[in-house]
Amino acid sequence: MSLTKWLADFAGAWLAKPIGWIALGGALGAVARAWVVKLSILEFGTSFSMGILVVNTLGSVVLGLLAGYTTYKTSLPLAFFAFAGAGFCGSFTTFSTYAVESITLIKEANSVAPFFLNILLNNVFALAGALLGFEIARWSFP
């Protein structure tokens, strides 16, 4: 069997499963994030993390569209949702998942309390975790 045939068979088998679509979307989302952040730095400088704000916002919009379409219209093919939702948005930003899950809490609980608790805990723990990581790195690595 030729290398070309083997690669084609391997890719076909890989993309026949959701994990293959997640991996492909993830690769593209990671590259897109790097491009957006780089372009943002060139355009706005580094005084504010505009690139991260942009990817978090765009990722939230895209995942919200996917989740909303599935909720209010019709379900999307698993391969497409795996590629665009879990793959692309998941590597472009995890903030998109956080945003959609926060909105879902309001809709499912018919209350804003779980929504605000989710926001508070995610932000406090994420910021505390980042600070902890910085401090561990500062004190552990000379």
Q: How do residues 80-124 score in pLDDT, each as one tens digit?
A: 888 999 999 999 987 887 888 888 888 888 889 888 998 898 889
The reported pTM is 0.69
Tokens standing for residue 5 = 């045939």
Looking at 75-112, list the stretches that DSSP marks H as alpha helix, in order from N- to C-terminal side.
Answer: 78-81, 90-92, 95-109
Distances (CA, A) of 94 to 84, 91, 98: 13, 7, 7
CB 94 within 8 A of CB 56: no
